[in-house]
Amino acid sequence: MTQTSMAAETDMEALFDRVASERARAPEAPKAVALAPAPAPSPATPAAGAESDPFDVFQRVGSITRKLHDALRELGYDQAIDQAVSSLPDTRARLTYIATLTGKAAERTLNAVEQGKAVQESVRADATRLAADWERLYSSQVSADEFRQLGQKTRAFLAGLPARTEQTDAQLLEIMMAQDFHDLTGQTVQRIAKIVQFLEEQLVKLLIDSTPPERRTQLKEEFLTGPVIDPTRSDVVSSQGQVDNLLESLGF
Amino acid sequence: MNAADMKILIVDDFSTMRRIVRNLLKEIGYANADEAEDGQAALKMLRAGSFDFVVSDLNMPNMDGFELLRQIRADEKLKALPVLLVTAEARKEDIVTAAQIGASGYIVKPFTKATLEEKFGKILQKLAPQAA
């Protein structure tokens, strides 16, 4: 851990303790600290503003939405996703974070495995040698001295065994801890999926709103009425199938 | 009651994380643990069973860690339950919120066995004077 992050952690610790003790002293209902909600998507304004040709915008939006929609369906980091994602620097950083984290976890795991195996191997070697010595002792005559020596060696081996098994235990624990990447990367993946889905939703909404009047007849009834353009609902089109239908009906 | 008897509820939507926490708890002496995958499931279990400690993640579907904590503190039977919140990012606003709604402590992921042991110790120490 770096010096700065250790200092930051102590600050956080102090902040928590301070607020917690304030609460303990004045236990009335705390003001609700609203976690910043996701910014409400601004209503899409048709591109009828400025000099831009509304139909050109409509075309471009339609084709972008199609690309994104297919990419979502393919569920892969292929060209399409990469293009959509490259315009979102935050998402790119998050994906890099995932790659780094999983890479580190793999390395950490393999290190622990190697070290653990080394300990196991040396224990095995020592035990095998000792067992062989005892075999020889039981199958032939040995002097009292040799017997005593073997006894000593065996005592030493047994005395040192707990420490070595603890070493292996520690490596196993390390392997387990290295799996924490799954939780962090999993959360990040979910977050990215949400971002991408939100983007698609906004594009679809924009597409519907910017559909020129002469093309509106192509839109199936379900997209002009009902929940899709209801501004009070947060889900625009609820299924990938609906998005497919929408895009097809507009010729994309 | 001694450590071995304490019944702990681990709440997290990632099964990997629940396993890790469970194993770490065993390492520091708490072998009696149960699991729930979100706040809603956790509340059900807490109301039905007799738990002595809750370790909960923040980001979960259906009901997140903050809401679970609020519900616990508002419940007659559960309000004194020690709750350790687990956060992936040490954001100031999360820390403040956690303290304000009555978390007994917080811990930042990824954490070590030593940190978990320390946090547990701190929380239990604070409870000790009131222990029957």
Domain ranges of chain B: 3-121
Confidence of residue A25 (pLDDT cuts 50, 70, 90): confident
pLDDT at B16: 74
Counting residues of chain B whose pLDDT is more than 70, the rounded percentage is: 94
pLDDT more than 70, % of chain A? 70
Identify the pLDDT of residue A30. Answer: 46
In chain B (132 residues long), the average pLDDT of successive 10-residue segments reads 82 84 87 94 94 94 94 94 87 89 91 92 80 46
pLDDT band at A71 (very low <50, low <70, confident <90, very high): low
**Chain A contacts of B106, Cβ < 8 Å?**
16
The overall average pLDDT reported for chain A is 75
Asked if pLDDT for residue A108 goes beyond 60, the answer is: yes
Closest residue on chain A to B57 (Cα) = A183
- How many CA atoms are closer than 13 Å to the CA of A67, on its beta-carbon side? 14
ipTM of the complex: 0.72
Contact A57, A210 (CB under 8 A): yes
**Residue A224 pLDDT level (bands cut at 50, 70, 90):** low
Q: What integer pLDDT is reported at residue B120 of this predicted model?
A: 92
The predicted pLDDT at position A144 comes to 85
| Topology adopted by domain B3-121 | Rossmann fold (3.40.50)
Q: Is B12 in CB contact (< 8 Å) with chain A?
A: yes
Q: pTM for the complete prediction?
A: 0.57
Rg (CA), chain B: 13
Task: For residue range A141-158, list pLDDT tens digits in order.
Answer: 778 888 899 999 999 999
Say if residue A132's pLDDT is above 60: yes
B12 or A111: which leads in pLDDT = B12
Q: Which of B26, B33, B32, B95 is nearest to B65 (CA)?
A: B95
**List of residues 6+ apart from B65 with CB closer than 8 A:** B11, B39, B56, B57, B58, B59, B85, B86
Query: Which two structure tokens, joined as six digits, stand for B57?
Result: 């993640």
Cis peptide before A46 (omega within 30 of 0): no
Asked if the bond preceding B110 is cis, omega within 30° of 0, the reply is yes
Q: How close B20 comes to chain A (CA, Å)? A: 7
Selection from A216, A205, A222, A227 nearest residue A251 by Cα: A216
Is residue A33 pLDDT above 60, yes or no? no
Contact A184 B59 (CB under 8 A): no
Over residues A36-57, mean pLDDT: 50
The domain locations on chain A are 51-87+182-252, 98-179
* Contact status, residue A118 vs residue A167, Cβ threshold 8 Å: no
The tens digit of pLDDT for each residue in A113-122 reads: 888 988 999 9
CATH number at A98-179 = 1.10.287.500
Please tell me what DSSP assigns to residue A48: T
Judged by CB atoms closer than 8 Å, whether chains meet at B90 and A8 is answered as yes
Are B55 and B86 a contacting pair, CB within 8 Å?
yes
Higher pLDDT, A5 or B92: B92
pLDDT of residue B85: 95
Roughly how many angstroms between the first and final C-alpha of chain A, as a whole number?
52
Query: How many Cβ contacts (< 8 angstroms) between chains A and B?
Result: 78
